[in-house]
Amino acid sequence: MYRTVMCSALREAHIGQTVSLAGWVDTIRDHGGVLFLALCDETGITQVVFHDDEMLKGIGREAVISGTGKVVARDPETVDPKLETGQVEVLVEKMELLGPSKSMLPFIPAESMDTREEVRLKYRYLDLRNPKIHENIILRSKVITYLRRRMEDLGFLDIQTPILTASSPEGARDFLVPSRKHKGKFYALPQAPQQFKQLLMVSGFNKYYQIAPCFRDEDARQDRSPGEFYQLDFEMAFATQDEVLAVCEKVISETFREFKPDAVISDAPFERITYRDSMLKYGSDKPDLRNPLEIIDLTEFFSKVEFKAFKGRPVRGIVADCSECSKKFFEDSLKFATGIGMKGLGYLTAVEGQDAFKGPIDKFLSDEQRAEIREISGIKDGETVFFISDAPRAVDGFAGQIRTWLGERLDLIEKNAFRFCFVVDFPMYEINEETKKLDFTHNPFSMPQGGLKALEEEDPLTILAYQYDIVCNGVELSSGAVRNHDPEIMIKAFEIAGYDKEVLAAKFGALYNAFQFGAPPHAGMAPGVDRMIMLLRNEENIREVIPFPMSGTAQDLMCGAPSEVTELQLRETHIKVRD
């Protein structure tokens, strides 16, 4: 046996016992003939003592050793209260080198967070020895186990869906896999198990789930890893939107309470906000409800004010208490606004004990208008209302960014809190900015509210879908929908988006054909596991909670992917690389 006890387990009760430990060398301190070595494994650190220098000859940091010796009490002056094992140490009598390590390390694992990410990812196995990163991955395992248990408690079956499938236009770029046996044809890695989980509902399964790997050829962001990600994918037959959301809020709230018991967590049922209200009140379809600031619509008010910059444009306002703010704060707010593409940022500050305001827009207001804006905005003496005005497609997004900036600069964001909400009633269609044609806003398989009648009689841009997102602290954890299971409604929905029946049958043939043989109403969603862990660990970058992530440039720097392949491999898969 390499060890009889883990490094973190030793206590005063073990004094006098002979034990074997195994782990990595963290540090070695030479105190004149006596060597003190900090030995660590996954559980923690124990100090081991050597009285023979020869035993450690040629052994440096990060080498793997096994040592056997007697547990003794530390001298009172050497007790380390920071360590769980700080009261004891092991006098090593026998030692074996199990795995040597190079003397020149690319970085010290405990200090890896201060190293460039490219280097950390190239030597990810060293980076993962960093206690903080290591704990991230341990938590990930525990959360996934907990999620599985909760879903199975609710009667869901864990069913695996294919990894090699057909390419389909679902929004992001596919990862393609060339076929050796079928010249000129390709498999695709699934962007999500969307079609397969719906087919499971058609197949008579009642409740499905899996911790599903998903593959999308997308650029990296702080909350999105390029390449692959994992989600708690689930689907329910004979289910309504309310039933799906009830499952989600139960499982998610219980998970966050299990792993963040000291945090403030939204109680179920979570708040439901329509897409339209979310964009207006928070300037985003991913609202951060820890920020108490809300956006108000002042378009109608300014339509009566002779202020040329706001004429004919929507206007939004945000009231904040800036009574303690310096002149530089307002200068910084303007600098931020112009930095994100706004032409300016107007404001008015309510003067205490007066009807007037401070600010460049005050001179354009009559006494009646000053009173009206006080009433509309609810502004109090000393507070400031900031104005955002731009084109209709841009104004809400700008207002949302100003809201976030104000919340952060004024230190208004609630600490140690997870505020959940559902954003519901997404538009079924939107105008694609590139093609200027109608396109699906969200999932093309969603059921339109109003069914076939709405598709036939209403303006497509006014039709809402049974689509929903779950959002936490400004991070979208999941999208979901009640599925369109009726072939007639599906044909019409795709027709409006520019896909005729033949294209529908060709691109989504499995679903389209299956729905001809009796499909139950069904609905589901898929909260992102990586993003949940990211929130639970308060990490800003999602790559910190993934064992072996790609870099921001979609490269596996450790294994060297993507890589070139041999000419034989290319020929076997009928591929020719173009210059």
Asked whether 249 and 270 are in contact (CB, 8 A), the reply is: yes
Task: Identify whether residues 137 and 196 lie together within a single domain.
Answer: yes
> Are β-strands 264-265 and 227-237 bridged in parallel, bridged antiparallel, or unpaired?
unpaired
Contact 487, 501 (CB under 8 A): no
Model confidence at 170, pLDDT cuts 50, 70, 90, reads low
Q: Looking at residue 442, what is its pLDDT? A: 81
Question: According to the model, what pLDDT value does residue 219 have?
Answer: 87
Cβ atoms within 10 A of the Cβ of 232, count?
A: 27
Q: How far apart are CA 447 and CA 466, in angstroms?
A: 6
Decide: 175 and 155 in contact? Cβ < 8 Å: no
Q: Which of 392, 413, 434 is the last residue of a domain?
A: 413
Q: Are residues 127 and 252 in the same domain?
A: yes
Question: Looking at this protein, which amino acid is placed at residue 398?
Answer: F
pLDDT in tens, 296-305: 999 999 999 9
Cα–Cα distance, 457 to 201 (Å, whole number) = 30
For tokens 């909760």, name the residue: 150
Task: Give whole-number Cα distances, 361 to 150, 337, 346, 446, in Å.
Answer: 56, 17, 7, 46
pLDDT at 444: 86
pLDDT at 48: 97
Where a domain ends, among 413, 432, 455?
413
* CATH number of the domain to which 308 belongs: 3.30.1360.30
- What is the model's pTM? 0.92
Question: In the chain, how many domains are there?
Answer: 3
Dump pLDDT digits (tens) for 503-536: 888 888 899 999 999 999 999 999 999 999 999 9
Q: Is residue 482 part of a domain?
A: no
DSSP secondary structure string, 59-112? --TT-EEEEEEEEEEPPGGG--TTSTTTTEEEEEEEEEEEE---SS-SS-GGGG
pLDDT value at residue 76: 93
State the CATH number of the domain containing residue 209: 3.30.930.10
**Same domain? 147 vs 207:** yes
Q: For residue 445, what pLDDT band results from cuts at 50, 70 and 90?
A: confident
Which range marks the domain in which residue 29 is found? 12-99
Residues 203 and 155 grouped into a single domain: yes
Show which of 55, 72, 99 is a domain's final residue. 99
Give the max Cα distance, the chain. 91
pLDDT tens digit sequence for 332-382:
999 999 999 999 999 999 988 777 899 889 999 999 999 999 999 999 999
The set of residues, in sequence order, having a beta carbon less than 8 Å from that of 471 and lying 6+ positions away, is: 285, 286, 287, 420, 421, 422, 423, 477
* Tokens standing for residue 420: 């959940």
| Angle ∠(135,137,138) on CA atoms, nearest 5 | 60
Q: Examine the domain organization and report whether 125 and 158 are in the same domain.
A: yes
User: DSSP states of 511-540 as a string?
Assistant: HHHHGGG----EEEE--BHHHHHHHHTT-S
* Inside any domain, residue 419: no
| pLDDT confidence band for 168 (50 / 70 / 90) | confident
Structural contact between residues 39 and 45, judged by C-beta atoms closer than 8 angstroms: yes
Please check whether residue 557 lies inside any domain of the structure: yes
Indicate whether 226 pLDDT > 90: no
250-269 pLDDT, tens digit each: 999 999 999 999 999 999 99
Return all residues near 185 (Cβ < 8 A) that are at least 6 apart.
178, 179
Q: How far is CA 354 from CA 319, 378, 385, in A?
A: 18, 15, 16
Residues 62 and 193 in one domain: no
Q: Mean pLDDT for the chain?
A: 94
Q: Which tokens in the block code for residue 79? A: 């007790």
In a domain, residue 137? The reply is yes
Residue ranges with strand state E in 243-380: 264-265, 271-274, 295-297, 315-320, 346-350, 357-358
DSSP-derived letter for residue 175 is P
What is the reported pLDDT for 171?
66
Determine contact, residues 234/207, Cβ cutoff 8 Å.
Answer: yes
Residue 329 lies in a domain: yes
User: Percent of the chain scored above 70 by pLDDT?
Assistant: 99
pLDDT at 134 exceeding the cut of 70: yes
Eight-class DSSP state of 180? S
Task: Give the pLDDT band (50/70/90) at residue 223.
Answer: confident
Q: Name the β-bridge partners of 427.
A: 464
* Residue-wise pLDDT tens digits, 379-411: 999 999 999 999 999 999 999 999 999 999 999
192, part of any domain: yes
pLDDT of res. 255:
97
